[in-house]
Amino acid sequence: MKLFKRLLRYLLGYKGLIFLVILANLLYAVFSIFTLSMVIPFLTVLFDQVATVTVKPEFSLTSRYFIDTFYYYMGQVVSTHGPHAALVYIAVVMILLSLLSNLCRYLSYYWLAPIRAGILHDLRNDLYSSILILPLSFYSKYKKGDILSRMGSDVLEVEWSIFSSLQSLCRDPFLIIVFLITLFSISVKLTLIALVILPAIGYLLAVIGKKISSSSLKMQQLLGNISSLFEEAVGGLRVIQGYNAEKYAEEKFAQHNNRFYQLHKKIFRINELGSPLIEFLCIVAILVISLITLWLIPSLMLRTSALFLLYFVVFARLIAPAKALVSTYYQMQKGLTAAQRVYEVIDADEEIVECADPLPIKELKEDIKFQDVSFSYHPVENAAACDVLHDINLTIKKGQTVAIVGPSGSGKSTMVDLLSRFYDLSYGEILIEGTPIRKYSIRDLRALFGVVSQDVILFNDTVYQNIAMGKLDATMEQVEAAAKMAQAHSFIMELEDGYDTVLGERGMRLSGGQRQRISIARILLRNPQVLVLDEATSALDNESEYLFQEALTPLLKGRTGIIIAHRLSTIRLADTICFLQDGCIVEQGTHDELMDRQGNYYRFYTSQQGQQQL
């Protein structure tokens, strides 16, 4: 219920439209009951059984008053113009009432449309905003396909199961209330007897709803796993086909898909069980009332057969909105399960929390210091062996270029991620201008660094927009200048539309080296204080790497640089080289100093030189 109330908070911005929807549905319910009531006089005139009411009744809020009043005027029409005129009169009234009823029904849909679409719009905005601010550690806990499933199928399930039910929630309760008022006005005793089925209906709803809710959660989780398998298959298709693993992948997918099929079948069957049972109980109630009225309790016989017929017409009409509400209830159980998964993302802890009064920082004036820094992606108390980084101490002065080298998995990229607070430290401090980075504005801190990583991310947009993402107000001249510095301008001009060429998803229309140079241009356009090259040349061929290195010297002039590289030729320009191994800085110095020591760096460098000669 708390989750449902939370979803309903989105309605607060649509109060005026909600009022109109409620008013339209209320009028629809009233006009519907009047339309139904007209069936009885139509039949009585048709079969020449018009009740004679010669004296105009005195006003009272009872069904008897309205019926007698109608028959009074009907008698006047019959006596003056004959029964055929009375039938035409009744038919015209029924047509007008039906027109008004359906007009109100349409207006309720008309005013509900912007509410339903708007709520879904707001929910997606909230979800997307959460996705953008959540730390990287959140995404390491969930499969990518499962997160995409929450963004896609779960949000759609919320729309179809809850927001599509808003019309029923805004209409059917009014119909039921108006019909019940009519039934009570005709006979209180009969209606109370009929309502003994309510406890049975309530118990039925509770049992079936609980089963649907638990099964829906399992089904949505399985759907997330299936989405993950799809994503893995598309992303790893080269590996699957290269290893002839199609059969293995098919069998793995078939297992998950079969479990989803079984649950989906179960939910569908349970969902379809409620409505016929409700209809069955209502029909039983009608028959029981008929027996009680006709045979068992003669005192409950209504005063006219027409009124008796009206009672059962209205009671039968009550079944449809009751069944609709039952179906809505079941659909909402499924929708609330999907909403729970959506809110797990929206409510996820923002682990990288900005302090209450963050300090601004626009430029690096002195230095960056790693002071006894340790970090673990999965911190465990008293388990230093789980740390990715151990007791890192390093000072990077303004204008200095520092290279961090070492074998894969030694923690090089992690050090860079900590600088921009993509993760927070487990122990120690990182200081900029002598102040811990957690005291700075996160936005300002990240603007200080320009990172070109080995994992190039381009978007399905033009070359211009992909480069200008680092500076949205950039001119074409500035974009071209950045592309030239990154050795990208020449191949961009060879594309079919130059800088207006759409690169496709993740820039797949370009080679790996071309994608890397686009990302480098993006950073150069941004002109950051600290340039971080995290395996920035890993996807470049020898010629492109040479051209990039030629451009690197002027790029680093007056700018602080941090270079992470396996290809050691890239780091010759560094003022200081730190050799990282098993999360620790084991050696530090210039290239010549480290070579003279003939330690870890020496062996690492000479082994690469040997591989290049081979």
Q: Which of 167-181, 388-402, 552-566 has the highest mean pLDDT?
A: 388-402
Q: Which of 393-402, 445-454, 542-551, 556-565 has the weakest average pLDDT?
A: 542-551
* Spatial separation of the C-alpha atoms in residues 614 and 609, rounded to whole Å: 9
Fill in the DSSP letter of residue 462. Answer: B
Residue 261 has pLDDT above 80, yes or no: no
Question: Parallel, antiparallel, or unpaired for β 435-436 and 449-452?
Answer: unpaired
* Spatial separation of the C-alpha atoms in residues 180 and 29, rounded to whole Å: 11
The per-residue pLDDT for 446 is 84
Domain boundaries, the chain: 1-115, 134-348, 367-455+528-613
The tokens of 384 are what?
């230093």
Compute the average pLDDT of residues 236-247.
Answer: 66
Compute the average pLDDT of residues 325-351.
Answer: 75
- At residue 383 the predicted structure's pLDDT band, cuts being 50, 70 and 90, is very low
- At residue 303 the predicted structure's pLDDT band, cuts being 50, 70 and 90, is very low
CATH superfamily membership of 367-455+528-613 = P-loop containing nucleotide triphosphate hydrolases (3.40.50.300)
Helix (H) or strand (E) holding 395: strand 389-397
359 strand-pairing partners: 440
Q: How far is CA 76 from CA 35, 41, 307, 406, 594, in A?
A: 21, 14, 20, 104, 115
- At residue 159 the predicted structure's pLDDT band, cuts being 50, 70 and 90, is confident
Q: Which of 35-49, 292-306, 363-377, 507-521 has the weakest average pLDDT?
A: 292-306
Share of the chain above pLDDT 90, in %: 3
pLDDT tens by residue, 116-143: 788 878 888 888 877 777 767 677 666 6
pTM for the structure as a whole: 0.62
* Spatial separation of the C-alpha atoms in residues 94 and 89, rounded to whole Å: 9
- At residue 212 the predicted structure's pLDDT band, cuts being 50, 70 and 90, is low
* Top-confidence residue, 238 or 425: 425
The per-residue pLDDT for 103 is 92
* Top-confidence residue, 505 or 300: 505
* Spatial separation of the C-alpha atoms in residues 165 and 162, rounded to whole Å: 5
Cβ atoms of 555 and 500 within 8 Å: the answer is no
Domain 134-348: give its CATH architecture.
Answer: Up-down Bundle (1.20)
Cβ atoms of 112 and 166 within 8 Å: the answer is yes
* The two domains 134-348 and 367-455+528-613 share their CATH topology (first three levels equal): no
Q: Which of 121-135, 168-182, 189-203, 254-268 has the weakest average pLDDT?
A: 189-203
Backbone angles phi, psi at 352, to 5 degrees: -90, 95
Compute the average pLDDT of residues 343-347.
Answer: 79
